[in-house]
Amino acid sequence: MGNELRAAQHEIDMFIRLIPLIALVDNSTNTHRVQEAAEQVDGIFIEGSNHRVRFAARVLDITEIRVQGARKLCNVREHPSLGIVGTQEQKTLDNKELVKLCMLTLENYPGFTEFSYFQIMDATDKFSEKRYLGSGGFATAYKGQLPQGFVVGIKRFDHRATLSDFSNELQLARLQYTNIIRLLGWCIHGKERILIYKFMQNGSLDCHIFDRIKGPLLDWSKRLKIIKGLVEGLVYLHKHSMLHIVHRDLKPNNILLEYDMTPKISDFGSAKTLCSDITEEHTSRVVATSGYIAPEYASRGVYSLKTDVFSFGILVLETISGRKNTVLDKRGDTVGDLVRDAWHMWKDQRLRELVDPSLGNGYDIAEITRCAQVALLCSQEDPADRPTMTDIAAMLSSESMRLPVEPKRPYVLSEGGAGEVTYINQSSRTIDITITSS
């Protein structure tokens, strides 16, 4: 609570410091005048220097969003703890800009530490293959060991990463919660852009539920603990973080497991902040993973907190079944085969057929039924039909609580069709989609 209050104080202080700038912004104000005023608003100290360096504060960005069919204007600040919006999504990494963001984050959240490049090289044995953990859309992960014996996870961004990819991860500096990965520090050296995290001993969720050897070790009690931990983490992101953060790329690869199997939501490169919990926003650059992407986000670039709810539903079904959700795009599929199969099994009271065979009989069918029904409610095509994460927490916390509605049947697949999106790039398991029609 103390951390949350301090974070709130920092937010308020920044608004107060921006008041002189806001007063100068009107229809007749040109960009040069605004930037001059911005330079007078605030500055930061660079650690180890004897002089004060001033960085230009960012002008409030006015973003048009749609709320339940109506339009309103919302002030979205470009701040390192919130992520960059608008045209910054595709801006390439610039060292001066990144250092500026990192130093502002360091100023606001003292637990965030700068690491030297030599420390990183030593910790990873010069990024050796034996330290390699895996690769994502725009970065490679390594296991690192600091001189004190402390083990960390190191994310090394590549040349394809944008300013938004890096800055969105910086918001983790203020998100200190049990089920959110902990960001420890940063390093920028030449072309190297690196972030340092707390290391998760049991790797990612996909390495367990889809593995024939590790799968049986993840019994139902552990899987249920993971599901409930994800609920708590998403409730925090959507409601209690004060930022209404939508992750936009939830999948088993981005769920890391602590030594006791406590789940940690990671990889916030695609995350965005919303003005309220009912806000919808649009983007023409959809970066997500097939099988987990909500239909409205894939086809129209519309995202909201309900986008995460859909992905959570898929995660739950995969955790129960040990199966991957496959989407048949050419047949107009919007949710995936796992969702359709699970719905029919639920409707026919055959949910035992859905359960991962590696679990044997070591599960409570009532718990399976409740989790599966909640997952099906989450993975419905229409976001208005999906519950909120707060509702989901209530549904899973009380065994006696009757679920308010039944999940609707998924749409029947068509006999072909090209769909409304064009896939222009595929890297690893992440697909980059450009919207061509609505």
Tell me the C-alpha to C-alpha distance, in Å, between residue 411 and each of 282, 332, 345, 405.
24, 9, 16, 18
Looking at this protein, which amino acid is placed at residue 271? A
Q: Is residue 107 a contact partner of residue 80, using CB atoms and an 8 Å limit? A: no
* Annotated catalytic residue, options 42, 165, 249, 356: 249
The phi, psi pair for 347, rounded to 5°, reads: -65, -35
| Catalytic (active site) residue 391 | no
Cα dihedral 154→297→77→271 (10° resolution): -20
Burial class (CB in 10 A: 0-12, 13-18, 19+), 204: buried
Q: Which residues does the annotation mark as catalytic?
A: 249
